[in-house]
Structure 1
Amino acid sequence: MNNKRIAVMDLGTNTFHLLIAEGPADNFTEILHLNEDVKLGKGGINKGIIQPEAFERGIAAMKRFRSYIDVNSVTDIRAIATSAIRSAANGQDFIRKVKEQAHIDIELITGEQEAAYIYEGINASGCLTDDNALIMDIGGGSVEFIIGNTDEVLWKQSFEIGAARLMDKFHQTDPVPVQAIKELTQYLNSKLPELFLAASKYKPAILIGSSGAFESFAEVIELEKGKNFNLKQTKVYNFDIDELLDLIERLIKSSHSQRAKIKGIIPVRVDMIVVASLITIYMMQKMGIADVTMSTYSLKEGVLAQMLS
């Protein structure tokens, strides 16, 4: 019998996640799942530094996580840091302070490792088939692309084009101007040739969006239909393509105050969802994909599956 109770922390650019779970890898029981809007990249993401206020928010969140870990009798802990901490000049200072003050060892992983864990998480959610899929995980600092099926990863890469970075570069005026959208498109064209090469080789027919903005897309669509939608009880959601395109178009044209009133978009995502929408529509058009699925599983579930198996 597997008696391990595991805590996985995913320390992202915008959000720190804590997942405490136990049981078998393919059907674990969630004990606790917390998200903290730390906004670690705020004010410094493209300058390559964690700003003092963000630094303090991060330390405070990790101390809170430690208290939850202590009261839930956790046996194994992993804290995974990604793009924002990886690319910050003071990232190592942050890691050291967390060890001192919260007694948590942070592992700094590469974009490649991040993509590998995301694949494991997506595969654990059960949405992959024998057909090749393009998995896209839009983080605040980086975006991971993985082409694979239920049997294997065919290609994977992480690009430093996360939503916080793109917002800082292209979404300065609200609603986002047409000219900025054109510039963003050219920017993505210049950054992603390796992805297009891999896609022409492996021909993915489906786009799988990993958690994040895709959860918001699904939640908004379902709530607007007057349906109850519980993300916690959803592993996989298949989009009606017209509903998704309609929502993306509305989000791209919206102002901050309009987005803030939409039920289903969490506060930390109200602005970030615009560039996330732009990346999503860009990928669909570029790849000619009209089949889009969301998985609520991502990096932390991939790490968890590995630890529980």
Structure 2
Amino acid sequence: MKNRTAVIDLGTNTFNLIIAEKNEGALNELVHLEEGVKLGEGGINKGNIQEAAFLRGMQMMKHFSGLLKKYEVSNYKAIATSAIRNAKNGPDFIKQVKVQTGIVIESINGQKEAEYIYGGVKSSGALSDKTSLILDIGGGSVECILCNHSELFWKESFEIGAARLMDIFHKEDPIPSEKITELNRYLEEKLEPLFEQCKIFKPHNLIGSAGAFDTFVEMIETEKGNDVDLRELKTYLFDSIAFAEITDWLCTSSHEQRINRKSIIPLRVDMIVTASILTGFIIEKLGVKEIGMSAYSMKEGILSKLIR
């Protein structure tokens, strides 16, 4: 077997696969896939993976299994997060994947997820000696991490991901203003532990970890006429005015308007709305002026640990 390592990240919306090879100290990515599975579709707040989503997930894991064999991967880690850890039939999904593909999945809690995210963002070079708030918005959960490049001060996972919020608040399109108000009240309550910790650690900036923040970057840069390769980019510093304009537009846009915007991938066409509201609420609440993005997230954090 070749000296190849893989990470499989089974998220609520996407299943991700990275296969990498260490060659003379350098890390060479052989495969980098982000596949829309929508495992939480139809059941995210019911605590159950629906049949169609279950089958989509199984098919993707069979595809990933084939790639692990093709690339002769000697070491891998498959991690399940919010949708699987909270679903009543999550253990059955994990069992079926092992039976049908041989892949062993580890279901991790939100604290471990936040720790891996910190490792990924740190490896991107986005952190400095100043205190940052890392915000990772998944479909099922949101991870918040207060840290700098050398120390993780506080971390928490909140089960208020974009898919969960959309299921509760975004049933009409465009989202009605009264629903935005309701959502903001909900966030005020749910994120109280974060705001209390921010009073202590006083973050200098907010760094969005991949996901929705990838889309924000692509929207802003496409508007300028630029092509962006996020894998090459690693980090990005937002212009605060451009950022506010993009998120404001998303909060008032229709599904048709979003789907016609090429810089928004189909998977995020709808969930980007609640992700925008959540991001805007935190920025306003904390009064942070500097907003950045790390293209690296949990899967890169796991990969860096495996490689080491």
**Superposition TM-score, scaled by structure 1 size:** 0.98
Deviations 1:41-64 (A, max 9, x none): 000000000000000000000000
Q: What does residue 100 of structure 2 align with? A: 101
Classify the secondary structure of the residue corresponding to 1:28. strand
Q: Percent identity?
A: 52
CA distance in 1, matches of 2:26, 2:268: 29
Q: Deviations over 1:107-147 (max 9, x none)?
A: 00010000000000000001100000000000000000000
Distance 2:4 2:238 in 1: 34
1:1-309 mapped onto 2 (5 Å cutoff)? 4-23=3-22, 28-309=27-308
Counterpart CA distance in 2 for 1:216 and 1:183 is: 25
Distance in 2 separating the partners of 1:236 and 1:27 = 19
Deviations 1:190-234 (A, max 9, x none): 111110111000000100000000000001111111111111211
Aligned-partner Cα distance in 1 for 2:194–2:263:
31
Q: Give the Å deviation of 1:262.
A: 1.0
Q: Which moved more, 1:295-304 or 1:24-33?
A: 24-33
Decide whether aligned partners of structure 1 residues 140 and 26 sit closer, same or farther in structure 2, where only a CA change above 3 A counts: farther
Name which of structure 1's ranges 17-26 and 217-226 shifts more when overlaid on structure 2.
Answer: 17-26
For residue 25 of structure 1, report the CA deviation from its aligned partner.
12
Listed one character per residue, the Cα deviations across residues 79-111 of structure 1 (whole Å, up to 9, x for unaligned) are 000000000000000000000111100000010
Q: How many equivalent pairs are there?
A: 307
Structure 2 gap segments, 5+ residues each: none
Q: Aligned equivalents of 2:271 and 2:301: distance in 1? A: 24
- Aligned CA-pair RMSD: 1.2
Amino acid at match of 1:272: M
SS in structure 1 at match of 2:45: helix
8 A Cα contact 1:26 1:305, kept in partner: no
Relative distance call for 1:229 and 1:54 in structure 2 (3 A) is same
User: What is the CA-CA distance between 1:65 and the residue it aligns to?
Assistant: 0.3
CA–CA distance in 2 between the matches of 1:234 and 1:97?
A: 37
Q: Deviations over 1:266-295 (max 9, x none)?
A: 101000000000011001001101211111
Q: Is the 8 A contact 1:4 1:308 kept in 2?
A: no
SS at match of 1:33: strand
Give, in angstroms, the shift of residue 77 of structure 1. 1.0
Q: TM-score, normalised by structure 2?
A: 0.98
Tell me the SS of whatever aligns to 1:294.
strand
Q: 1:273 to 1:102 in 2, by over 3 A?
A: same
How far did 1:4 drift? Answer: 2.9
Structure 1, unmatched stretches of 5+, are none
Distance 1:25 1:300 in 2: 22
CA distance in 2, matches of 1:57, 1:278: 29
Q: CA deviation at 1:26?
A: 8.9
Q: CA separation of 1:25/1:229 partners in 2, compared to 1, >3 Å: closer, same or farther? A: farther
- Alpha-carbon shift at residue 29 of structure 1 (Å): 1.6
1:229 to 1:240, Cα distance in 2 relative to 1, 3 A:
same
Query: Match of 1:227, SS?
Result: coil
Q: Distance in 2 between matches of 1:247 and 1:263?
A: 14
Secondary structure, aligned partner of 1:46 = coil
Instruction: Report the Cα distance in structure 2 between the residues aligned to 1:25 and 1:264, rounded to whole angstroms.
Output: 36
CA contact (8 A) 1:211 1:298 kept: yes
